[in-house]
Structure 1
């Protein structure tokens, strides 16, 4: 390699270092003297290679530092994302609890984040009439060829499912509330089991409960009442959640009840005919969710022969003053609440 090329190389690599430039100048000077030229060129080449290696190492170190920095940034971003998710989940849970407490037995307060809030359920119930009910009608109409008989079959389902869900919900609530009462008894009068046969009541539990009540500036009775109120809210929320995730179980239970009533052929039809299965399944889910509201959403039918309530019902195909048949019930926020969706009647 020529000395000019070597000088350019060294200068290019380390132009910013005065110490390196000084050494390079000395080597260039020595090369001009024939006595030291060979040794100087060898030293120059070694020096140049050393500088190149240093540059490579520095470049590698910079890259490693950059990679580590990027990795740290990724870890930090992932941690931030994880924490944000936790905050969102905690916020959602707190909002749910707070919303349930606020809306408990207060129909005027609605949790707008709830996809199954009363107004939404009323809309969905009306959609079932417009869609699934219509499909079921076409199925029966193709078989029976008689509108009156078709309607007789279809109007049976909403009322029967409403009665079924109401009875089942009340039975469940009674059992769950009994378990809650048992739980409060256990907490209020705890017992320590020494062995398989001997147990000792731990009366300190009453003292602890009393201290908690004093710190909360409320009586033990108030504390117990508040705890029971929260437990009742959680029970209803639990019943509601279980319905959302297990509609098929509710459907099978409904079929089983009718099988016990000696209607096995009818229940087979409900299970095997797609249009009827879909209609009944949707009704079961929505009616159960309506009943699980606090207070429960109310469905209203008009009795045959009564005067048509035109403010709450529309006509099916025949209008008139008196009711012949309620085709679809009206939806009210609760037993004494406002109308949320009109029903449909067939008049005489």
Structure 2
């Protein structure tokens, strides 16, 4: 059949079947390609998630590394600070040791100076000073004026500490009497020890026997030398004096040993002075030698601290302390 010179092709059954077959093949090919595309997309999703997980892991590792780095830096700074502190402490110890050495050197120089002054004083005024308490030997570091300072410090400081540590001894009056008795025992012990030591030393110096009624004739120079020797050796013998006294007075508790040692020290230097110094404990007979403790009045209640005299019946150097009542 022809229309307008155009020929229309007539499709046969075989052509339809060939087209259908072709279309089915194209469909199968597209389906196969689509299946591969879906698998590819799924692989891409899988790889993406894997990369995300790896990224998270890397970020966590980075965070951990930053924390470790920061901690390491802090530890390093801390260790550096500790090292600096240790170095500074060592420097402080070294400087303290140097200071102590310097102080010791200064003390040694002062001791040498005092010794030279002592020798100079001995040469210039040995006879004048011998048994003359009215003339002060300024070269003597334990002269009466210095002992006044010692007993004042003893009462103001050590006695106060001892009072606080003796509260188990009763009320205020009982504690004051107890501490005064300790001082009195120290004084009596030092006087007796000094007298015995003097007798033995003079005996040995003169090769005298004990049956001469204790009367020895040392020259003024020898007597002064004996006194100076005892004063010089007093510091070395003080530990033995402490131990012997504590052995004899075992009832004194350990908390008061510092007070006892201070009492013994001032008492020993007072006893070996020439002539020996004197302590008064009777505020009724020697009323002018005492001042009030916390209360005045016309009657002595109890004595707190003794009065110091240059020698027995001599001038007062330090007023004692007593509690009065009306």
Is 1:340 paired with 2:317?
Answer: yes
CA distance in 2: counterparts of 1:88 and 1:284, whole angstroms: 23
CA distance in 2: counterparts of 1:129 and 1:88, whole angstroms: 27
CA distance in 1: counterparts of 2:138 and 2:193, whole angstroms: 28
Is residue 180–residue 231 contact of structure 1 (8 Å, CA) maintained in 2? no
Misfit runs of 4+, over 6 Å: 86-89
Q: Structure 1 118/92 Cα, relative in aligned 2: closer, same or farther at 3 Å? A: closer
CA distance in 2: counterparts of 1:339 and 1:170, whole angstroms: 23
Structure 2 gaps of 5+ residues are 1-111, 210-215
Matched residue, 1:318: 295
Is 1:105 paired with 2:105?
Answer: no
Specify the structure having the higher radius of gyration (Cα).
2
Matched residue, 1:173: 198
Matched residue, 1:153: 178
Matched residue, 1:253: 244
Structure 1 gaps of 5+ residues are 1-85, 185-223, 259-263
Is residue 177–residue 303 contact of structure 2 (8 Å, CA) maintained in 1? no
Q: Structure 1 104/152 Cα, relative in aligned 2: closer, same or farther at 3 Å? A: same
Please give the TM-score of this superposition, normalised by the length of structure 1. Answer: 0.55
Matched residue, 2:280: 300
**Deviation per residue, 1:14-65 (Å, 9 max, x gap):** xxxxxxxxxxxxxxxxxxxxxxxxxxxxxxxxxxxxxxxxxxxxxxxxxxxx
Matched residue, 2:150: 124
Q: Give the CA deviation at 1:125.
A: 0.7
Is 1:330 paired with 2:307?
Answer: yes
CA distance in 2: counterparts of 1:88 and 1:296, whole angstroms: 22
**Deviation per residue, 1:153-181 (Å, 9 max, x gap):** 21111111111111110000001110011
CA distance in 2: counterparts of 1:112 and 1:89, whole angstroms: 12
Q: Structure 1 87/247 Cα, relative in aligned 2: closer, same or farther at 3 Å? A: closer
Q: Give the CA deviation at 1:98.
A: 3.9
SS in structure 2 of the partner of residue 109 of structure 1: coil
Q: Structure 1 326/99 Cα, relative in aligned 2: closer, same or farther at 3 Å? A: farther
1:86-97 to 2 correspondence within 5 Å?
92-97=118-123
Matched residue, 2:219: 228
Matched residue, 1:55: none
SS in structure 2 of the partner of residue 246 of structure 1: helix
Q: Structure 1 100/164 Cα, relative in aligned 2: closer, same or farther at 3 Å? A: farther
Q: Give the CA deviation at 1:130.
A: 0.5
Please give the TM-score of this superposition, normalised by the length of structure 2. Answer: 0.58
CA distance in 2: counterparts of 1:124 and 1:106, whole angstroms: 22
SS in structure 1 of the partner of residue 137 of structure 2: coil
Q: Size of the alignment, in residue pairs?
A: 208
CA distance in 2: counterparts of 1:89 and 1:144, whole angstroms: 44
Q: Structure 1 171/87 Cα, relative in aligned 2: closer, same or farther at 3 Å? A: closer
CA distance in 2: counterparts of 1:97 and 1:298, whole angstroms: 28
CA distance in 1: counterparts of 2:192 and 2:151, whole angstroms: 20
CA distance in 2: counterparts of 1:108 and 1:229, whole angstroms: 16
Q: Give the CA deviation at 1:92.
A: 4.7
Q: What is the RMSD of the two structures over their aligned residues, measured on CA atoms?
A: 2.7
CA distance in 2: counterparts of 1:91 and 1:326, whole angstroms: 39
Matched residue, 1:280: 260
Matched residue, 2:165: 139
CA distance in 2: counterparts of 1:346 and 1:228, whole angstroms: 45
SS in structure 2 of the partner of residue 340 of structure 1: strand
1:241 to 208, 232, 249: 232
